[in-house]
């Protein structure tokens, strides 16, 4: 599994840091702390994400950790921000690919890519399937889903199957919300993703997005 992204893709911090790292050594230390936090999350669960436990795993002092992450909630928020950034980066890659490739089954491509991420991002699953998400992370997740929906909107526009309007944005948001719920259930049932449920998700999304595209067809 790859290293967790310590910050969002746009390079700005969206988590409650006591001090934003400026020097390369400080940034490397924060990355080390977040990698340690992910190891603890995967191996021991969300409840083990205490500042004392993370400092010990990262082999840094608790005081050093407090410089950046003041409490357990901040650690959760920072990990979530990294996972969101990786998912959104994958969506950006798909938007670029849609412009360069011929996709016979766009929904299948999307499901395959994100199922692969769910299979490999054990920390993301451990965080999302736990019961300790912070209010800030829940709010960030809502914004993340809107950005993912915008990616779907851009793909549909790239494929020239829709016009850009408020109805399209709303439909893409609904599709992302439905797909996310189905994906979570599929991976709760099976660490590899319940294949039957993923197939049903594909059927549902193909039908729904075909209906969305039909709204824009001429008389």
Distance CA(185)–CA(194), nearest Å, equals 8
- Whether the Cβ atoms of residue 77 and residue 136 lie closer than 8 Å to each other: yes
24: confidence class by pLDDT, cuts 50, 70, 90 = confident
Neighbours of 107 (CB within 10 A): 21
Q: Is residue 72 part of a domain?
A: no
* SS3 labels along 5-64: CCCCCCCCCCCCCCCCCCCHHHHHHHHHHHHHHHHHHHHHCHHHCCHHHHHHHHCCCHHH
Q: What is the mean pLDDT of residues 152-163?
A: 94
Q: Is residue 174 part of a domain?
A: yes
Q: Look at residue 17 and tell me whether its pLDDT is greater than 90.
A: no
| Span 44-92, pLDDT tens digits | 998 899 999 999 999 999 988 888 888 889 899 999 998 999 999 999 9
133 three-state secondary structure: coil
5: confidence class by pLDDT, cuts 50, 70, 90 = very low
For 37, residues 6+ apart whose C-beta sits below 8 A from its C-beta are 49, 54, 57, 58, 75, 78, 79
Rounded to 10 deg, the angle between the 135-158 and 72-100 helix axes is 0
Provide the number of structural domains found in the chain: 1
CA 157 to centroid of chain Cα atoms:
22
Domain containing 192 — which CATH number? 1.10.357.10
Percent of residues, the chain, with pLDDT higher than 90: 65
**Residue 97 belongs to domain spanning:** 79-214
| Span 169-182, pLDDT tens digits | 999 999 999 999 99
Q: Is residue 173 part of a domain?
A: yes
Report pTM.
Answer: 0.86
Q: H-type helices in the chain, by residue range?
A: 24-44, 51-58, 62-66, 72-100, 106-120, 122-128, 135-158, 166-189, 195-214
The predicted pLDDT at position 37 comes to: 94
More confident residue, 15 or 159: 159
Q: Is residue 5 part of a domain?
A: no
Q: Is residue 61 part of a domain?
A: no
Q: Is residue 57 part of a domain?
A: no
For 32, residues 6+ apart whose C-beta sits below 8 A from its C-beta are 58, 60
Percent of residues, the chain, with pLDDT higher than 70: 89
Q: Is residue 127 part of a domain?
A: yes
Q: Is residue 94 part of a domain?
A: yes
């Amino acid at each position: 599994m790859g290293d967790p992204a310590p910050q969002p893709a746009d390079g700005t911090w969206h988590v409650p840091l006591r001090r934003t790292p400026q020097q390369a050594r400080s940034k490397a230390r924060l990355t080390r702390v977040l990698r340690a936090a992910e190891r603890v999350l995967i191996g021991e669960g969300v409840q083990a994400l205490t500042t004392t436990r993370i400092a010990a795993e990262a082999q840094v002092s608790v005081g050093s950790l407090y410089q950046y992450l003041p409490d357990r909630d901040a650690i959760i928020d920072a990990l979530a921000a990294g996972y969101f950034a990786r998912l959104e980066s994958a969506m950006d890659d798909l938007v670029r690919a849609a412009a360069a490739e011929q996709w016979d089954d766009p929904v299948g491509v999307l499901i395959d890519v994100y199922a692969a991420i769910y299979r490999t991002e054990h920390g993301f699953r451990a965080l999302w399937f736990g019961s300790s998400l912070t209010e800030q992370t829940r709010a960030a997740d809502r914004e993340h889903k809107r950005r993912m929906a915008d990616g779907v909107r851009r793909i549909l526009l790239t494929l020239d199957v829709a016009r850009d309007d408020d109805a399209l944005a709303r439909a893409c948001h609904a599709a992302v919300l439905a797909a996310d719920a189905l994906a979570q259930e599929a991976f709760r049932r099976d660490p590899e993703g319940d294949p039957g449920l993923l197939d049903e998700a594909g059927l549902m999304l193909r039908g729904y997005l075909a209906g969305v595209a039909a709204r824009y067809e001429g008389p």
